[in-house]
C-alpha cells in the first residue's frame, strides 16, 4: 500500500463518530418500526424495558426508559407484534445501535408466536405430549446430546461423576443454535438410540428465544417422541416450556438438574441399600423368633398328647392318690387310736378295781353290795374285796351315821 496512513483512533472515538452520524441523520430521528418482541426484560430496579424487535430476516435492539414505559396502556411481552416510535441511537459502550422508544402500540399477535402455538396444539392433538415413561433408578449408561464445547456438557459431567462415578457417560455432540440446529439435534437423538444408553439427556445452557428455537421445532419434537430411551429435556429456560420440554418424559430447568434426575446419589443409594438390608435382617430375626415359638408350642403340645406323657401323668396322679389314701388312713388310724385310748382311760377310771387300787374296798353280804351300814346286822358274815385278794369277816358292831 502507498500513500499516507490514516490516523489511529480509539474504539470509543469510532463509536462516538458513528453515534453522531446517526444522530445527525434526520431520517433516523423520528421513526416507526414494526416488529415482534423477543428477549423482553423489565429491569427490576430502574423499570427500563430492554428487548429485541425482529422480523423474518433480521432484528433490532430496543430500549424504552421507565418514564415512557410508565405511560404504556398494555404490558408488552415476548411474541407481541408491535410498532415502536422513537429515534435510532448508538449505545457507545457496546457499539450497538438501537431504537430508543418513546412510545409503543400493539400490532397484533406475533407471527412466530402464532406459528409456535399452532405447532403446539397440533402436536398435543397427536398425543406427543402424553408419553411419560419413568426413569430407571440405577442407569448404567447416560447419553448426552448437546454442544461439545458448551458449559452445559461440563455441568452434566461434573454432576454425574460426583453423584455416581460408576455410570458411563456417552456424549453425542450437536449444534444447538443457528441455522441447521434443529436437524443436528434431531440427528443426534436418533444416533443415541444405538448407544445402549438407559437415559438420554438433551438440551443446552439456556439462552434467548432465538437461541432456543431449535427445541421448538417439529423435527426435534418427533425425534424425542420416537426415542426408545427415556428422555430428559434440559433446554435451560427456567420459566418458559419449549415444545421439546413438553414431549420429553421429564423436564429439568437446567442441565445440572437433569444430571441429578438421571442418576442417584451413590451415598444415598448405599444408605438405602443398608437400610433395606437391616430391615430384611430384622424381619428375618422376627420371623425366626416367631417360628421358634411356634415350634416350641407344637413340641409341647405333641409331648403333652403323647402316650408316654399321658402314662407319666397317670402315674403321677396314681402316686398322688396313693399318698392321699395313705395319709387318710394314717389320719383315721391315729384318730381311732386316740379314741380307744380315751375310752380305755374312761373305762379305767370307771373300773371298781381301779378304785380299790387307790385303797378302797368293796363289801358285799348276803343281799349283795353293801353301801350302807343299815343293810347289815351284827354277827352277819360279809366279804370284803381288796385291790389284791379278799377277806371274810363278821359284823361285830354297827355304828350308825351321825
- Residue-level pLDDT at 369: 83
- Residue-level pLDDT at 6: 86
Name the CA radius of gyration of the chain, rounded. 63
Q: Are residues 155 and 249 in the same domain?
A: yes
Contact 226, 192 (CB under 8 A): no
| C-alpha separations of 68 from 72, 73, 338 in Å | 7, 11, 135
Q: Are residues 73 and 145 in the same domain?
A: no
Q: Which domain holds residue 152?
A: 133-264
Q: Are residues 217 and 238 in the same domain?
A: yes
Percent of the chain residues topping a pLDDT of 70: 94
Q: Are residues 243 and 284 in the same domain?
A: no
Q: Are residues 260 and 289 in the same domain?
A: no
C-alpha cell at 137: 433408578
Q: Are residues 25 and 137 in the same domain?
A: no
Average pLDDT rounded to a whole number, residues 367-378: 80
- Residue-level pLDDT at 212: 81
Domain count, the chain: 4
Buried-exposed string 334-346: b where 16+ CB fall within 10 A, e elsewhere: eeeeeeeeeeeee
Picking from 240, 264, 288, the residue at the C-terminal end of a domain is: 264
- Residue-level pLDDT at 379: 82
- Residue-level pLDDT at 110: 54
Share the mean pLDDT of the chain.
Answer: 86
- pLDDT category at 207 given cuts 50, 70, 90 is confident
Q: Are residues 217 and 294 in the same domain?
A: no
Give 304-338 pLDDT, tens digit per residue: 677 776 777 777 888 888 888 889 888 988 888 88
- Residue-level pLDDT at 53: 94
Average pLDDT rounded to a whole number, residues 172-193: 92
- pLDDT category at 265 given cuts 50, 70, 90 is confident
DSSP assignment of 30-65 equals: SEEEEEEEEEEEE-TTT--EEEEEE-SS-EEEEEE-
- Residue-level pLDDT at 25: 85
Give 48-86 pLDDT, tens digit per residue: 999 999 988 899 999 999 999 988 877 888 988 899 999
Question: What's the CATH number where 54 sits?
Answer: 2.40.50.140
d(CA 39, CA 210): 8
From edge to edge, which strands make up the β-sheet containing 199-203? 168-173, 141-146, 199-203, 231-234, 250-251
Amino acid at each position: 500500500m502507498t500513500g499516507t496512513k490514516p490516523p489511529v483512533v480509539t474504539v470509543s472515538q469510532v463509536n462516538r463518530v458513528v453515534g453522531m452520524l446517526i444522530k445527525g441523520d434526520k431520517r433516523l430521528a423520528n421513526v416507526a418500526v414494526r416488529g415482534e418482541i423477543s428477549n423482553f426484560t423489565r429491569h427490576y430496579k430502574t423499570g427500563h424495558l430492554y428487548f429485541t424487535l425482529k422480523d423474518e430476516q433480521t432484528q433490532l435492539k430496543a430500549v424504552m426508559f421507565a418514564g415512557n414505559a410508565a405511560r404504556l396502556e398494555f404490558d408488552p411481552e415476548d411474541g407481541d407484534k408491535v410498532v415502536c416510535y422513537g429515534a435510532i441511537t448508538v449505545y457507545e459502550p457496546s457499539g450497538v445501535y438501537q431504537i430508543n422508544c418513546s412510545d409503543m402500540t400493539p400490532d397484533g399477535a406475533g407471527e412466530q408466536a402464532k406459528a409456535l402455538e399452532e405447532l403446539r396444539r397440533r402436536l398435543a392433538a397427536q398425543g406427543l405430549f402424553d408419553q411419560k415413561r419413568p426413569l430407571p433408578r440405577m442407569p448404567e449408561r447416560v447419553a448426552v446430546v448437546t454442544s461439545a464445547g458448551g458449559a452445559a456438557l461440563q455441568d452434566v459431567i461434573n454432576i454425574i461423576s460426583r453423584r455416581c462415578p460408576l455410570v458411563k457417560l456417552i456424549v453425542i455432540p450437536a449444534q444447538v443454535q443457528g441455522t441447521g440446529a434443529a436437524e443436528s439435534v434431531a440427528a443426534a437423538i436418533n444416533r443415541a438410540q444405538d448407544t445402549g444408553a438407559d437415559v438420554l439427556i438433551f438440551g443446552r445452557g439456556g439462552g434467548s428465544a432465538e437461541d432456543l428455537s431449535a427445541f421448538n421445532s417439529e423435527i426435534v419434537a418427533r425425534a424425542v417422541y420416537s426415542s426408545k430411551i427415556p428422555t430428559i429435556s434440559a433446554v435451560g429456560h427456567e420459566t418458559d416450556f419449549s415444545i421439546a420440554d413438553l414431549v420429553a418424559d421429564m423436564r429439568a430447568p437446567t442441565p445440572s438438574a437433569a444430571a441429578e434426575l438421571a442418576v442417584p446419589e451413590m451415598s444415598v443409594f448405599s444408605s438405602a441399600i443398608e437400610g433395606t438390608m437391616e430391615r430384611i435382617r430384622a424381619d428375618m430375626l422376627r420371623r425366626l423368633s416367631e417360628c421358634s415359638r411356634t415350634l416350641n408350642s407344637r413340641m409341647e403340645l405333641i409331648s403333652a398328647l403323647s402316650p408316654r406323657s399321658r402314662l407319666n401323668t397317670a402315674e403321677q396322679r396314681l402316686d398322688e392318690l396313693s399318698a392321699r389314701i395313705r395319709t387318710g388312713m394314717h389320719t383315721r388310724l391315729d384318730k381311732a387310736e386316740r379314741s380307744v385310748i380315751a375310752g380305755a382311760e374312761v373305762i379305767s377310771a370307771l373300773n371298781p378295781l381301779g378304785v380299790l387300787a387307790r385303797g378302797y374296798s368293796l363289801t358285799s353280804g348276803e343281799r349283795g353290795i353293801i353301801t350302807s351300814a343299815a343293810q347289815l346286822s351284827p354277827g352277819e358274815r360279809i366279804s370284803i374285796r381288796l385291790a389284791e385278794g379278799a377277806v371274810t369277816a363278821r359284823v361285830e358292831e354297827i355304828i350308825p351315821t351321825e
